[in-house]
Structure 1
Amino acid sequence: MYETTTFFSMNKQSDWQQGTSYNLRVTEEGVRLERTVRYGWQRDIPLQRVAGTSRIVNAALGPGGTLFLLDHAANVWMYDYINAIHESLFPKRHGLFTRYALFAATEDQLIVAERVKNPRITAYSLSNIQSVWELSEWRGEPLCPLALATDGDEDVFVLLPEQTVQEGRHRVLPAGTALVLLEIGPGGRIRHEYRDEALRVEEKSTLPQLCKRFFLHVQREGDLTLLDGDSRRLFAFHRRGGLSRRVDLPFPGLPSGLGVDKRGTLYVSDGRKQATGGTGPDDRQVRVYRSDGTPLDPVSGIQGRVDAMLCGHRQLLYLWNAAEQRLTVLEPTSRIQGSGAGGSPEGVYFTRAFDAVTTETDWHKIQLDADLPDETQLRVYYYASDHREVWLDQGTVLLDTFLHDDTVSLEEKQRRTRTLWHGPIVNPRDALLRARGRYLWLRIEWSGSDRKTPLLKKVRAYYPRTSYLQYLPAVYQQDPQSRDFLERFLSLFGTFFSEMEEAIDHIARCFDTDAATGDLLKWLSTWLGIAVDDRWTEEQTRALLKRAPDLYRKRGTREGLQELVEVFTGEKPILVEFFQYKYLMEKADIRRSMERLYGLDPHRFTVMVKPEAVPDDRSRSLLEKLLAEERPAFTDVQLVVLEPQIHMGSHTYLGINTFLLEPTLLVLDDRSALPYNTVLVDVDHNSRIGLHTRLGMDSKLE
């Protein structure tokens, strides 16, 4: 029936990219609403519980989420809040820096920027708290840090004024003083300088006045972001390059911290002492902005003053409340992005004109291939004309040019074209069009929820109009009203037959393991005599089908079993047979270990896999069933899931599930420690640390 019908199709990423989209993500899979990251409460960390500390005045993030806390007495504590373990890093009354110091951490160093007593930057080794390098001046000027951050790896970034003068007790920055951002590598070597003409102090200021004005965030693999809290101006620099962008943020409060996630989304905390007006609702929130400064919904459920914000480990946000001595941890979750600040999850797409070449073409229908979860909706509007130009308001414009002009807002496009569109057609799968003209435009709207989004995979627009009505006697076409109804009624059967014909035309896809899905994939497995468990994923079934011929040739062999397990887990297992450890049975103590680990049955073998290969009980059960079915006749099999730990006498294998790291400091208490190279042996040189020490016998700790 449709041999004379043609269509325009959009089913590839390159097709969708020719149109214009708003709040939509275009991928090879299709088009869906843009996703974003929203933060929610995970836990509170009360720092009063850290024994031995006085009032905490500052905090920094270290490797693996470890916290470094600076208390009122200038003591630094390393705090693992997950395991409730803390230890002091410096002796009490050390005098190395004051409580006003800035500090940050790399993988193996603690970086301290002193701003009051002999301003300088010092790097301390986390293994023995020895000074690694120190900078006290830059280009002949005293080094006066204003902001400090690290990339979490090895590089340190510090904001400095280019010029300062001493006036009384404080160092002063003259009006117009330029600021520079330095990148410091290992050993205190300056790697790069970041500058911008707008990055300067406009008015004469003292260092204490600037201590809480600038906020710096550095991503391990990304831009450097600096926020000037007074002007609300944000500076982003390319790594080892120049200025990327300069953005003025519409932030209503007093900035107290800055965070940036992997998408470039900005998070700014509010450090005001009280809400505006003092009596109304608290409007102090963690504000969220796109990288261009466009406001998004603030972090929900978090209100009140935030004295500092930490961002780093696993993209968690840590909000510091000094008055309550509490850190609030926020964790990111993926959500559907709204169309604006407070907007609902909606998106809009405008196609470019489909050109049928012939004027007064009767467009037949559209077909959509889409996934529509509950609470989601697709709406299609259409417009057809013999001309590319249309009259909008007070003039004629090229419709394609207007719809795809990036300088025109979505609201203006919708307002000025509201009288053109026909529709909407809601959640269409196959819908007739009442459109005549050479050109056809579509406007498609997505509606979702905060967790669900429609996925539009393919759109087809058919032309010219064809119908089974042309095969009926003329009497059925004489009355316009009945003709219209009968044409729409017969189009249902036309759709059924066209789908049947298309399925027959593409029957070859049914025999392609890459194209087949669902029950069809399991049906293909029966052709090879493979009994696929219903709990197998499609990726596992597809991989098994592709390798089935080769696996049949190796069935019952060591190599064949390893490759079969690799199909299921993605990684080749370790297989241990009796003959491999038979020669160890001569010694009685080793024999007992071998019996416990592998058994003494010569017809038994052990298959060992890493824990990520079987992440849950369901996967383990499936693998055990697979091994039981595929093991050679008259043999027994044991499955061992290796644990990532050292446990002598168990399945611990160096380089496989156990690793030895660099030796570290042995801390005895908050005042005493032994270096890693101290040797305790029973030879000469009693009472000498590093040579010979017997605690409680010839040596004691004071």
Structure 2
Amino acid sequence: MSFAFVGTHTPARWAEWYRTNVAVSERGVAVATDPVPTYVSPSRLTEPQPFDAVDVAVDRCAVVFVLAADGDIYQYRSDRESMTRLACVWTSSESDDGGDTGDATTEEPVGIAATDDSLYVADADGRVQAISRHLFQTRWLTDGFASPVGVVATTGAVYVLDAGSPGASEANAGAENATVGDASGAGNGPDSAGRLVELAAGGESRTVVTGLSEPVDVATDTAGNVSILCRTADGPAVFLFPPATLGGAATTPGEPLVSPDEFRTRATGDEVVPSCLESVDAAELVVGVGSDAPGERTLFRYRAHDTAFERIPSFTTDSVALQTGRSGPDGGPPDLYVVDGSRRVHRLDAARQSRRNDGTGRYDATLVGRFDAAELGTEWHRVTMDIDPGDSRTQVRLRYAATDDEWQPTEGASPTAALETADGIDATDAERLRDAGVTTLGELASTEPGTLAAALAASGRSTSMSTLARLLEHARDALRVDVDTSRLDWRDLEQANPTDALLDDAEGRYLWVRLELVGNEFASPWVRRFRAYFPRQSYLRYLPDVYRNDERSAAFLERYLSLFESTFVDIEEEIGRANRYVDPAGVPAAHLPWLGEWLATEADDTWPTAARRELVAHAPALYKKRGTAEGLLAMIRLYLANSGSATADEPTRTRADGIGRRRTADEAARFDVTGSSADPNDSDPPVAAEPGATSRAAVGGERGSDSGPPDSQGRNIGDPLAADRQGTTARKSVYLVEHGDLRCIDSPPVEALYSRLLGCPEGFLVLLRPGIDDERARTVERIVDTQQPAHATGRAVHLRPWVRLAGGEQDDDPPTRGYHTYLGINTTLAERDFTVEEATLGQNAMLTEREATGQFDVKARLDRDARID
């Protein structure tokens, strides 16, 4: 029995449905989620906590640094769940005359930031200290700040937020590019206003933002944008400064990203008075409330599309500092670290929250689609869906209607239409958006508010979130279509989550389908695929007419027989697609070993799927060369080219592009398999198994003339050494040396060395570059063991990344040092490691200055920058 069917299974097809509160992705369709994550499951970092915390910093490796009130710094490793006190302590202030005093007072530190190599600590006395993470000693110390309130780090800069002095005014904040400690610079007078200062190496600094009114806190996001929380005359406000605006002359705050009138809760309109700020991503914000602020003690996240704040009910205490961590393994939102009013550190897990449907107020979504059978009066038979429930509390509900009426809802504006097409977007708004790179209604509607705000600020056209929310809503209204389908005679499918269901009384050319996805706060069902089969036919038609005389009995019998029909139809479809199981490019990964057995391929579990497919595709060509050097090299290079070999990222020097050009992964893969170079002028010296020896076979001698068939990417694997005959050499990852290749060596000591390595005339070596990791090297060893001919004895040698500068022959005059060793080919320069009882000082370990600063007698002073415990 054969059926025609229509359906949807790609994001492009799902996008053609009329949608409300729906997220479309490669996975399918689901209830949309909020762009700003919420936070759940708060937990203490350590219990009990032996210190009072002030601030938290998290580096790119998810290592957490906690700054204590007494100046100590603690390190928390989430993978080990351990808190360790570091050997670096904030130091006391000096006396007014500049000399050290034995009983100097200590100002409490106020903030900490972490980069890859340094920690930065600011204190209330106006000082900032940079501390080496390697030696835990002071790199440098700078002062001159009036009242630091925070320090943050991005991937390219470190910023200090200076609140200035009481009675600050903007009149004396006009100087640009001022240096901290310079009396003529902006913000250094007794009445200085708040400012943002960028720190550089050695403590040099530059004012990048001036004229801040009572700054409270500063935060950065992954894009390098800086958000500053201020208390203005009208109330709290957040100002956004993209990296482009911080790279030149000092700037002043423009229109706030979040204005004072937006600091209200969405549900009740209560006032939000924040004490600390964190930027999750692209100006999406989370704020905390201090102990002296009115209202509820909790965290609030800023909902850009609502231009209001929403409570995060999982955390019910006051906050003094916030810091996000690193994104999760799936690229999701990072966790949040909070220092509460009792100076305890908490971690909250990030969670994507489902977006409420504006029409229903629930966590649900609606899709409406129309399918055309191209024939009037078609009887629609059956629908199937691939559903991932996601949670026991979620559902997918289906309604359908069949009709011969060609009516469709009114079309909205085209996504490519100009911005002015939408009502409510005037010429001034459109010009601002074009300056930010947004030119069409579709681009505007699909851009997140925070991202758009950052783009506008970078173009010099700062706009508040409320204005952006209005523009986005106008764009979506213009693109929205009228999905009022009440004129259709809808029928409900009684069962929920219908993966396979018959359609009753569905006659007409067009089948309308309405899917309702019902989720909850943190879960949503996913629909990956939808199909509708036609025309209506079932196994009932094979039975005598007597079984169809009674309509009620016939309806039951048809549904009963449909159970078998569905199974057999699916089996028939699978049989119809059986040819894909013999196609290396289309066979499911689970069946690759089965197909490989047909062709007698030998690949163990360490081979990735891509390598297995290539091996199966070229098994006939490889089998012809089985037991030869060409076949062995081709198989090894095929494996390395499709296993993510580290050589794909190795830098390469050629005559055409000079030093430091980095080959692409596609180039590297091609080189690994074919042994050829894209540049016919590219040359590379030969490689030897040991320093002090050479062999023409190391770059490949002539072996055979059959080029063999190309692979799926057009690469030739039948003759992996064809490029050598053309006078070209690539950065190959594997070489082969046979005993006969030693005839070209004219140095008896070197020939003796290689003869000892090869062992016998039937021996050979497969040489692997140092860039290949140990796991792949072990796989290559297994390939050599299983693929070598019966009359030969071979082994794989993984070259090590070091060079021995030994001379050539003793009678050389002058002696030749480093004879036939090539930097970057069979040796690389690496940092020396010192291991007790294993390393020899002066040979494989050495004493050197690891840090430019932070050494005793350089910029570290006992009892000032460091202390001995």
TM over 0.5, shorter chain: yes
Shift of 1:459: 0.6
Which whole-Å CA distance do the structure 2 matches of 1:422 and 1:336 have between them?
Answer: 31
Shift of 1:10: 0.5
Task: Note if 1:7 corresponds to 2:5.
Answer: yes
Q: CA offsets, 1:142-194, max 9 Å, x none?
A: x887765432422537587871689xx98498xxxxx9878788864566x69
**Shift in alpha-carbon separation, 1:238–1:546, aligned structure 2, 3 A:** farther
Task: Note if 1:18 corresponds to 2:16.
Answer: yes
- 1:512 is matched with 583
* SS of the residue 2:587 aligns to: coil
- 5 Å-filtered alignment, 1:145-544, equals 149-154=152-157, 156=159, 158=161, 163=170, 171=191, 188=205, 210=214, 214-221=216-223, 223-227=225-229, 231=235, 234-236=238-240, 239-240=243-244, 246=258, 248-251=262-265, 254-262=273-281, 266-272=285-291, 284-292=297-305, 298=312, 300=314, 302-312=315-325, 315-321=334-340, 323-324=342-343, 326-330=344-348, 332=350, 337-340=353-356, 347-356=364-373, 361-371=378-388, 375=392, 378-384=395-401, 386=403, 398=409, 420=490, 422-434=492-504, 435-446=506-517, 454-470=525-541, 474-533=545-604, 538-539=609-610, 541-544=612-615
Shift of 1:431: 1.2
Residue type of the alignment partner of 1:10: T
**Shift in alpha-carbon separation, 1:501–1:258, aligned structure 2, 3 A:** same
Say whether the 8 Å CA contact 2:767–2:799 is kept in structure 1. Answer: yes
- 1:206 is matched with none
Residue type of the alignment partner of 2:592: L
* SS of the residue 2:597 aligns to: helix
- 1:84 is matched with 85
Task: Note if 1:580 corresponds to 2:710.
Answer: no
Say whether the 8 Å CA contact 1:256–1:268 is kept in structure 2. Answer: yes
Which whole-Å CA distance do the structure 1 matches of 2:579 and 2:382 have between them?
Answer: 27
Say whether the 8 Å CA contact 2:273–2:293 is kept in structure 1. Answer: no
Which whole-Å CA distance do the structure 2 matches of 1:151 and 1:645 have between them?
Answer: 27
Say whether the 8 Å CA contact 1:338–1:346 is kept in structure 2. Answer: yes
- 1:545 is matched with 616
Say whether the 8 Å CA contact 2:372–2:509 is kept in structure 1. Answer: yes
Which whole-Å CA distance do the structure 2 matches of 1:627 and 1:295 have between them?
Answer: 64
Task: Note if 1:563 corresponds to 2:637.
Answer: yes
Say whether the 8 Å CA contact 2:19–2:366 is kept in structure 1. Answer: yes
Residue type of the alignment partner of 2:297: R
CA RMSD of aligned residues (A): 6.0
- 5 Å-filtered alignment, 1:65-76, equals 65=63, 67=65, 69=67, 71=69
Shift of 1:522: 2.2
What TM-score, normalized by structure 2, do the two folds share? Answer: 0.53
Say whether the 8 Å CA contact 2:154–2:224 is kept in structure 1. Answer: no
Which whole-Å CA distance do the structure 1 matches of 2:17 and 2:583 have between them?
Answer: 32
Shift of 1:329: 4.0
Which whole-Å CA distance do the structure 1 matches of 2:237 and 2:110 have between them?
Answer: 25
Say whether the 8 Å CA contact 2:54–2:66 is kept in structure 1. Answer: no
* SS of the residue 2:275 aligns to: strand
Which whole-Å CA distance do the structure 1 matches of 2:336 and 2:73 have between them?
Answer: 18
- 5 Å-filtered alignment, 1:635-650, equals 635=794, 646-647=832-833
Say whether the 8 Å CA contact 1:25–1:33 is kept in structure 2. Answer: yes
Which whole-Å CA distance do the structure 2 matches of 1:46 and 1:503 have between them?
Answer: 58
Shift of 1:422: 0.7
* SS of the residue 1:425 aligns to: coil
* SS of the residue 1:353 aligns to: strand
Residue type of the alignment partner of 1:154: A
Residue type of the alignment partner of 1:13: P
**Shift in alpha-carbon separation, 1:466–1:545, aligned structure 2, 3 A:** same
Say whether the 8 Å CA contact 1:606–1:639 is kept in structure 2. Answer: yes
Q: CA offsets, 1:495-534, max 9 Å, x none?
A: 3454344334433322233332154322221232124546
Which whole-Å CA distance do the structure 1 matches of 2:644 and 2:393 have between them?
Answer: 35
* SS of the residue 1:466 aligns to: coil
Say whether the 8 Å CA contact 2:278–2:286 is kept in structure 1. Answer: yes
Which whole-Å CA distance do the structure 1 matches of 2:20 and 2:383 have between them?
Answer: 22
Which whole-Å CA distance do the structure 2 matches of 1:382 and 1:512 have between them?
Answer: 39
Which whole-Å CA distance do the structure 2 matches of 1:660 and 1:514 have between them?
Answer: 54
Corresponding residue pairs, total: 593
**Shift in alpha-carbon separation, 1:561–1:363, aligned structure 2, 3 A:** closer
Say whether the 8 Å CA contact 1:273–1:305 is kept in structure 2. Answer: no
Unpaired segments ≥5 residues, structure 2: 78-83, 99-105, 174-188, 246-253, 328-333, 413-444, 446-472, 651-671, 673-686, 695-752, 802-829, 861-867
- 2:816 is matched with none
* SS of the residue 2:850 aligns to: coil
Shift of 1:421: 5.1
Residue type of the alignment partner of 1:85: L
**Shift in alpha-carbon separation, 1:105–1:621, aligned structure 2, 3 A:** closer
Say whether the 8 Å CA contact 1:368–1:458 is kept in structure 2. Answer: yes
**Shift in alpha-carbon separation, 1:418–1:146, aligned structure 2, 3 A:** farther
- 2:420 is matched with none
Task: Note if 1:664 corresponds to 2:851.
Answer: yes
Q: Would you tell me which structure has more strand in proportion to its own residues?
A: 1
**Shift in alpha-carbon separation, 1:464–1:383, aligned structure 2, 3 A:** same
* SS of the residue 1:261 aligns to: strand
Q: CA offsets, 1:215-247, max 9 Å, x none?
A: 332124254434457846555565537879547
Say whether the 8 Å CA contact 1:570–1:613 is kept in structure 2. Answer: no
Residue type of the alignment partner of 1:150: A
**Shift in alpha-carbon separation, 1:123–1:159, aligned structure 2, 3 A:** same
Say whether the 8 Å CA contact 1:316–1:331 is kept in structure 2. Answer: yes
Which whole-Å CA distance do the structure 2 matches of 1:339 and 1:431 have between them?
Answer: 29
Which whole-Å CA distance do the structure 2 matches of 1:630 and 1:511 have between them?
Answer: 25
Residue type of the alignment partner of 1:271: G
* SS of the residue 1:352 aligns to: strand
- 2:729 is matched with none
Task: Note if 1:130 corresponds to 2:131.
Answer: no
**Shift in alpha-carbon separation, 1:571–1:60, aligned structure 2, 3 A:** closer
**Shift in alpha-carbon separation, 1:667–1:217, aligned structure 2, 3 A:** closer
Which whole-Å CA distance do the structure 1 matches of 2:617 and 2:128 have between them?
Answer: 59
- 2:182 is matched with none
**Shift in alpha-carbon separation, 1:377–1:531, aligned structure 2, 3 A:** farther
Say whether the 8 Å CA contact 1:79–1:85 is kept in structure 2. Answer: yes
**Shift in alpha-carbon separation, 1:107–1:165, aligned structure 2, 3 A:** same
Shift of 1:664: 0.7
- 1:696 is matched with none
Q: CA offsets, 1:549-571, max 9 Å, x none?
A: 66654767574464365267521
Unpaired segments ≥5 residues, structure 1: 137-142, 174-178, 202-209, 277-282, 391-396, 585-593, 677-700
**Shift in alpha-carbon separation, 1:608–1:366, aligned structure 2, 3 A:** same
